[in-house]
């Protein structure tokens, strides 16, 4: 499967039948031969991703995919891999040729629309055969989208295609909103409580901590990074009042005791939950923890793969805390990365998603959509931890204050 990982560059997927010119289009956009071009259909087998910069647009990742008309048992697997990329794509380019349109294209358009995925329909190889007026009208009638004429050979309408890509790709795909910009101001002091345990990478901080530090600096504020055992002494000695304190969820209780009540306190995971997760549904879903019953099944979604420690947050700590909080016999399943679920999502009474620091907002939302559509409550690691440790109201207060009454979520 092609995954975005932690890359924030827009992902543009190239789709179409075999030998329609998908790879030639990629090479033309990139200005270099990054995809194999052949007269023989089926040259591209598995999805291939390449990072580069489109002139006058910026860095993107193009994903070259196998033909949607592939045949045979192996061809069906290639098509399945092609379709699996739709969860990671920000913009789709559907490449046509020879005025041809049929069921494969109809199926792709349906899938684009099901995934709420913007798309551009391109008639390639127009130096050999231009699209007819009848064909243009047919495509417009079928999709509501105008057909774009292009040729990789003579680069006709190249600049217009770049402009169309720029205008069609969702702004959130390349704009990086601030994590904390609406919570802090110039010169504010923010305390970051960062325990160094066996899950912390050697010699560096975990990604959410690094992102928070950078965002604080970008907002012209001051970041003070402390281990949890240093917080009390620092506040007593420095005699400062931070504008905000952010803690690792695992030491929420210690942070809650150390940070005075008049200082807003939340966690790195909850910040990420608001930044890229489905925060409103998290707010609705978190209190459902109190409704769990004996025999219920809870799904924990880790959106990255990592070495599993003996006291892992998702596999060990959260199940232990929820079991202790509810007093119920609950079954827990963990799915890492973007792997398929081993059972229907409707088998679960609750889905708990990690912060999602290693994936994009689109990937995270697509991951949660099956549960949300099925009416299965969803929450986030940090919000679930705050809830079972009795500090949920305080942890979400910085984000719901002045917007909604946080008590409505309890």
pLDDT value at position 33? Answer: 53
- Per-residue pLDDT band for 47 (boundaries 50, 70, 90) equals low
In the chain, list all ranges with CATH 3.40.50.11420: 189-270
Residue 38 has pLDDT above 70, yes or no: no
Higher per-residue confidence, 56 vs 278: 278
Write down the architecture of domain 11-173 according to CATH: 3-Layer(aba) Sandwich (3.40)
pLDDT tens track for 101-158: 999 999 999 999 988 899 999 999 988 999 999 999 999 999 999 999 999 888 889 9
pLDDT tens track for 5-16: 334 578 899 999
The set of residues, in sequence order, having a beta carbon less than 8 Å from that of 287 and lying 6+ positions away, is 387, 409, 410
Distances (CA, A) of 378 to 298, 356, 382, 384, 386: 10, 14, 12, 10, 15
pLDDT tens track for 255-307: 999 999 999 999 999 998 898 889 999 999 999 999 999 999 999 998 765 44
Residue 163 has pLDDT above 80, yes or no: yes
Higher per-residue confidence, 97 vs 178: 97
Residue 18 has pLDDT above 70, yes or no: yes
The rounded distance, in Å, linking the Cα atoms of 247 and 240 is 18
The mean-pLDDT minimum among 48-62, 98-112, 337-351, 390-404 falls in 48-62
3-state SS string over 48-112? EEEEEEECCCEEEEEEECCCCCCCHHHHHHHHHHHHHHHHCCCEEEEEECCCCCCHHHHHHHHHH
DSSP-derived 3-state class of residue 359: coil
Q: Which of 100, 95, 91, 94 is nearest to 138 (CA)?
A: 100
The mean-pLDDT minimum among 211-225, 229-243, 351-365 falls in 351-365
Say how far residue 94 (Cα) sits from the centre of its chain: 23
Contact 304, 337 (CB under 8 A): yes
In the chain, list all ranges with CATH 3.40.50.300: 11-173
Contact 36, 23 (CB under 8 A): yes
Residue 82 has pLDDT above 80, yes or no: yes
Q: What is the mean pLDDT of residues 200-213?
A: 79
Q: What is this structure's pTM?
A: 0.67
Percent of the chain at pLDDT exceeding 70: 85
Percent of the chain at pLDDT exceeding 90: 54
Write out the two tokens for 341: 């679920």
Q: What is the CATH number of domain 189-270?
A: 3.40.50.11420
Question: How much is the mean pLDDT over the chain?
Answer: 85
The rounded distance, in Å, linking the Cα atoms of 103 and 120 is 18
The rounded distance, in Å, linking the Cα atoms of 278 and 356 is 11
Write out the two tokens for 191: 């305390």
In the chain, list all ranges with CATH 3.40.50.11410: 278-406
Write down the architecture of domain 278-406 according to CATH: 3-Layer(aba) Sandwich (3.40)
DSSP-derived 3-state class of residue 268: helix
Pairing of strands 222-226, 189-193: parallel
Higher per-residue confidence, 175 vs 39: 175
């Amino acid at each position: 499967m092609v995954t975005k990982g932690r890359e924030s560059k827009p992902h543009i997927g190239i789709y179409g039948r075999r030998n329609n010119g998908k790879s030639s289009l990629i090479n033309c956009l990139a200005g270099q031969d990054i995809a194999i071009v052949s007269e023989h259909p089926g040259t591209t087998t598995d999805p291939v991703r390449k990072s580069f910069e489109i002139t006058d647009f910026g860095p993107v990742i193009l994903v070259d995919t196998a033909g949607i008309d592939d045949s045979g048992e192996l061809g069906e697997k290639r098509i399945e891999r092609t379709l699996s990329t739709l969860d990671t794509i920000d913009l789709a380019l559907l490449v046509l040729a020879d005025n041809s349109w049929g069921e494969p294209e109809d199926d792709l358009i349906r899938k684009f629309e099901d995934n709420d995925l913007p798309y551009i329909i391109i008639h390639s190889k127009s130096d050999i055969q231009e699209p007819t007026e009848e064909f243009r009208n047919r495509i417009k009638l079928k999709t509501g989208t105008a057909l774009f004429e292009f040729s990789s050979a003579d680069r006709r309408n190249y600049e217009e295609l770049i402009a169309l890509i720029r205008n069609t790709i969702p702004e959130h795909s390349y704009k990086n909103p601030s994590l904390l910009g609406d919570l802090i101001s110039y010169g504010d002091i923010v305390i970051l409580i960062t325990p160094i345990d066996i899950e912390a990478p050697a010699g560096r901080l975990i990604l959410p901590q690094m992102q928070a530090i950078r965002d604080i600096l970008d907002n012209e504020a001051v970041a003070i990074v402390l281990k949890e055992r240093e917080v009390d002494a620092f506040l007593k000695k420095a005699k400062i009042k931070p504008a905000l304190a952010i803690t690792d969820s695992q030491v929420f209780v210690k942070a809650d005791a150390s940070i005075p009540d008049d200082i807003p306190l939340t966690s790195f995971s909850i910040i990420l939950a608001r930044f890229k997760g489905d925060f409103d549904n998290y707010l609705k879903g978190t209190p459902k923890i109190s409704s769990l019953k004996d025999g219920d099944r809870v799904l924990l979604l880790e959106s990255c793969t990592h070495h599993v420690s003996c006291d892992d947050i998702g596999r060990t700590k959260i199940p232990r805390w929820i079991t202790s909080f509810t007093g119920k016999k609950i079954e827990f399943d963990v799915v890492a990365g973007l792997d398929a679920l081993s059972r229907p999502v409707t088998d679960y009474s609750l889905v708990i998603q990690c912060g999602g620091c290693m994936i994009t907002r689109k990937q995270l939302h697509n991951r949660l959509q099956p549960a949300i559509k099925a009416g299965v409550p969803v929450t986030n690691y940090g919000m679930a931890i705050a809830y079972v440790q009795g500090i949920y109201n305080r942890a979400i207060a910085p984000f719901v204050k002045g917007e909604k009454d946080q008590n409505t979520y309890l």
